[in-house]
Structure 1
């Protein structure tokens, strides 16, 4: 009875973790940014306010214009896809830096491409391993094989470690390679009253949740495999 409960919860948490991964890596809300410009223009020195929203993930980067009222409730604009008709999107690998910025030298650009390539390979490897783990667990169920349960559990834990590495690399990419301060200084040469607000989005938050569920599932299946092995002697 206890073994069946362990197998059930192991499969449940594993499926839940995979679902969180698919949603997290398949959506484009890992990083949210809002640019606000208040520039003086014209003979009367009137102030024009402009707001640009950005949201990006592993595959797509999108941006669209807004206004001050939208900026006050920008988080809701990011959570729902019924955004402005002016919304533009491009493949993230075509612009490997956070936000849509200019002025990067070719060396920095190539480094960012390589960095994104590394975490993309690690992410795909994690997906392959977590799918293989599911296959091993499905095969282990009818035969009660402690070896397959242990292999499946080990694969779940390995996939969790790889996904953790992807999240850590993403944080390093944003914090170390974004160079937001230089971007703000560059923008202020054209508009003195310029500010940018950056936050991690809900896609980013889902990834650690999926990691927890997958790691916990892996430990449960390792425990199930060990229990079957001890009772088979």
Structure 2
């Protein structure tokens, strides 16, 4: 696989306590195993791999709240909390990790949940696939209620940077848009639209692997972006009412 992918979800200032963030984190860790077998176990970061494997991340509310509190910014309270984890993979190429910033209520830094995904090999083939990426963003959206999210190749993202209005969502292989942004319009085949409970909508451009080197894929992404922009759902980061 030549292109490297990541998935991320983003939301604006939202002041939340350590208890609230722990509740969301518990829901997040509980929901991810439904996305893929490679997302069933998580560990805190440690000084070494051996040390990290002794520190499992389990969906236990009281333990998670302690973890969240340890991630509080020591200087600026309005920056919220930082939580990081990884899947304990034996090989570097199979590593999946996540980095979460939550509970922040300053416009200086946004809240987010970003996944680093495997770059090559069998695990990458399993996880970097439309159903798994969609399920991963779904679990993330249900837990963290972001404004928008995307699973996209770094190459495709880089090609869009210069033309993307500042602060607006990327439209990638899989895109999530919160319900408060508005109604997602009908989109051309083979695009699939899926509701995420009452929180928002997932848009999957193609069931096959999306690549920035495929002009048909790029043209489809641009057509979908134009339709979404025309519908008014790609405005800069929206704060939930």
TM-score over 0.5 for the pair: no
Larger Rg over CA atoms: 1
TM-score, normalised by the number of residues in structure 1: 0.24
TM-score, normalised by the number of residues in structure 2: 0.23
Structure with a larger share of its residues in helix: 1
